[in-house]
């Protein structure tokens, strides 16, 4: 042995004579928890803000998550076209549901809906929709950046779509550092509150476009919901 002490997030992907290639994996459970939290938030929404029947979107999310966990349990490392397609479909369902709920909430605020006459109901609905967008977009960044988590585990491209501080400041760059789901969750949260990039810079056109869409949705939710709630309380 060379005395190397690999971290518990590393796996050996292949062995060549005299050398070991490490795979820098991450646990699937944080992203799984985010999907389940999104499903719960969907169940809390009023019927007119939900895409389809009450059970439809949460069931679809749960089934797709089960397929992902079954195909690559524990730590994310398996590069599979089928699993990649399942992950993308799941993200599309999450983001589509969040955008639908946002549009319906804004329509209710403009034209009047049953939850807009009560500040408590409005804040609960608005908070649930806003949190759903944060989770959905964080999972979108997580799945699209640098080919997805399995691809990142094996190899990081020289120019990622999203540049984290560790990419931009060499003195902060830990050996074999990879962004994990919590990093993308933080990106989704800060982009929805600051309405602009904070410490993570979008480099790819798709990343800039997606962050712009998320900021617009968040601005509409926070601005209109708070204004309406204040008006109701007044």
State pLDDT tens for residues 88-116.
Answer: 999 999 999 999 999 988 888 887 767 66
Q: What is the mean pLDDT of residues 78-89?
A: 91
| pLDDT tier for residue 118 given thresholds of 50, 70 and 90 | confident
- Quick: pLDDT tens for 40-52: 999 888 888 888 8
Q: Residue 3: pLDDT above 60?
A: no
In terms of Cα–Cα distance, which of 78, 51, 53 is closest to 67?
A: 78
Percent of the chain at pLDDT exceeding 70: 85
Q: What is the pLDDT of residue 233?
A: 60
Return d(Cα 50, Cα 48) in angstroms, integer. Answer: 6
Provide the mean pLDDT of the chain: 83
Buried b (16+ CB within 10 A) or exposed e, 30-56: ebeebbeebbebbeebbeebbbeeeee
Cα 234–Cα 132–Cα 103 angle in degrees, nearest 5:
65
Q: What is the pLDDT of residue 5?
A: 42
Q: What is the pLDDT of residue 195?
A: 83
Number of Cβ within a 10 Å radius of residue 165: 12
- Using an 8 Å Cβ cutoff, are 207 and 213 in contact? no
For the record, the structure tokens of 32 come out as 């799984």
Does residue 26 or residue 59 have the better pLDDT? Answer: 59
Return d(Cα 65, Cα 60) in angstroms, integer. Answer: 9
Question: Mind giving me the DSSP string for 141-188?
Answer: HHHHGGG-HHHHHH---SS-SEE-HHHH-GGG--TT----HHHHHHHH
Does residue 11 or residue 64 have the better pLDDT? Answer: 64
| pLDDT tier for residue 64 given thresholds of 50, 70 and 90 | very high
What percent helix, strand, coil does the chain show, rounded to 5? 65, 10, 25
Q: What is the pLDDT of residue 74?
A: 81
In terms of Cα–Cα distance, which of 196, 221, 223, 198 is closest to 211?
A: 196
Return d(Cα 43, Cα 28) in angstroms, integer. Answer: 23
| pLDDT tier for residue 155 given thresholds of 50, 70 and 90 | confident
Question: Taking the domains of the chain in order of start, what are their residue ranges?
Answer: 23-149+157-233
Q: How many residues does the chain have?
A: 234
Question: Mind giving me the DSSP string for 199-231?
Answer: S-EE-SHHHHHHHHHHHHHHHHHHHHHHHHHHH
State the DSSP H helix or E strand holding residue 56, giving kind and residue range, or none if neither.
helix 56-71
For the record, the structure tokens of 54 come out as 């009450």
Q: What is the mean pLDDT of residues 158-164?
A: 87
- Using an 8 Å Cβ cutoff, are 33 and 82 in contact? no
Predicted TM-score (pTM) of the model is 0.85
């Amino acid at each position: 042995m060379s005395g190397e002490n690999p971290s518990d997030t590393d796996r050996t992907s292949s062995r060549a004579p005299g050398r070991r290639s490490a795979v820098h994996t991450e646990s699937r459970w944080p992203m799984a928890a985010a999907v389940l939290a999104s499903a719960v938030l969907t169940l809390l929404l009023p019927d007119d803000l939900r895409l389809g029947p009450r059970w439809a979107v949460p069931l679809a999310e749960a089934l797709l998550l089960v397929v992902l966990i079954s195909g690559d349990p524990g730590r994310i490392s398996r590069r599979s076209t089928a699993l990649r397609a399942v992950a993308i479909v799941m993200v599309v369902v999450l983001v589509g549901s969040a955008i639908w709920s946002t549009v319906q909430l804004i329509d209710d605020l403009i034209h009047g809906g049953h939850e807009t006459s009560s500040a408590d109901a409005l804040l609960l609905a608005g908070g649930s929709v806003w949190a759903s967008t944060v989770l959905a977009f964080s999972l979108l960044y997580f799945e699209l950046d640098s080919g997805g988590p399995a691809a990142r585990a094996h190899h990081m491209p020289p120019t990622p779509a999203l540049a984290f501080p560790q990419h931009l400041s060499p003195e902060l760059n830990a050996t074999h550092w990879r962004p994990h789901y919590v990093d993308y969750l933080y990106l989704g949260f800060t982009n929805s509150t600051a309405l602009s990039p904070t410490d993570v810079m979008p480099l790819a056109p798709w990343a800039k476009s997606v962050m712009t869409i998320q900021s617009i949705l968040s601005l509409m939710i926070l601005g209109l919901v708070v204004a309406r709630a204040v008006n109701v309380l007044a």
